[in-house]
């Protein structure tokens, strides 16, 4: 129960962060959760619209209505000064370390005495292939970021935050793969 409240609160800041960057429709915001942000912080379509309504009622965001077609209206949201204050307050108040993320692969390893060495090796091989695929995707994202801007690694770049999240993900996956490779050699040796 407390966990759910916490997640909802974080969604609030994710939305504030997005509309702080630029004016966005509900659809734009949902798309962001399907693409970039969704890679490390997922949110469902069904959570986003109620949160937008709530944030509007709280005066943290506001919208103007834009007419796009003959009858099509869409709401374009932007952050209010009060919303910006809450966003920056959240950015500046780091909390305790979150619980270690659930990892089903770790759980399988923990109990792997129940399967044969060959089967364990297959489990590792499968994990390695998936991690390598993820790493490839991350490298591609990093390349796109560099195409967008020459110096995303500069703290002055508007893409710097994106670059940091991406470089941390690459660092994590490279290290994970190195550990998988190292562990596979243990299977070969004994
Ligand atoms: C992105 C592509 C992938 C991105 C983040 C990720 C921030 C993945 C992050 C992770 O696995 O932690 O464009 O942008």
pLDDT string in tens for the chain (190-residue length): 444 444 448 899 999 999 999 999 999 999 999 888 988 888 888 899 999 999 999 999 999 999 877 778 899 999 999 999 999 999 998 877 778 888 899 999 999 999 999 999 999 999 999 999 999 999 999 999 999 888 999 999 999 999 999 999 999 999 999 999 999 999 887 5
- Relative to the CA of 162, which ligand 1 atom is closest? 7
For ligand 1, the distance from its centroid to the CA atom of residue 169, given in whole angstroms, is: 6
pTM of the model: 0.81
Instruction: Please state, in angstroms and as integers, the Cα–Cα distance from residue 63 to each residue in 31, 55, 57, 137, 186, following that order.
Output: 18, 11, 11, 35, 59
Residues with CB under 6 A from ligand 1: 36, 39-40, 138, 141, 162, 165-166, 169
Tokens of 76: 């374009």
């Amino acid at each position: 129960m407390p966990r759910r409240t916490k997640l909802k609160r974080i969604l609030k800041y994710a939305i504030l962060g997005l509309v702080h960057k630029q004016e966005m429709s509900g659809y734009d915001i949902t798309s962001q959760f399907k693409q970039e942000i969704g890679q490390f912080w997922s949110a469902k379509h069904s959570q986003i619209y109620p949160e937008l309504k709530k944030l509007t009622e709280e005066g943290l965001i506001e919208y103007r209505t834009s007419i796009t077609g003959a009858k099509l209206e869409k709401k374009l949201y932007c952050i209010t000064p009060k919303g910006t204050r809450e966003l920056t307050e959240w950015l500046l108040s780091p909390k305790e370390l979150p619980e270690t993320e659930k990892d089903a692969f770790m759980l399988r390893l923990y109990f792997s005495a129940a399967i044969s060495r060959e089967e364990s090796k297959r489990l590792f091989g499968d994990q390695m292939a998936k991690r390598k695929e993820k790493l490839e995707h991350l490298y591609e994202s990093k390349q796109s970021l560099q195409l967008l801007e020459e110096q995303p690694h500069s703290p002055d770049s508007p893409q710097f935050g994106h670059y940091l999240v991406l470089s941390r993900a690459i660092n994590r996956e490279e290290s994970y793969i190195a550990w998988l490779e190292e562990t596979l050699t243990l299977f070969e040796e004994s």
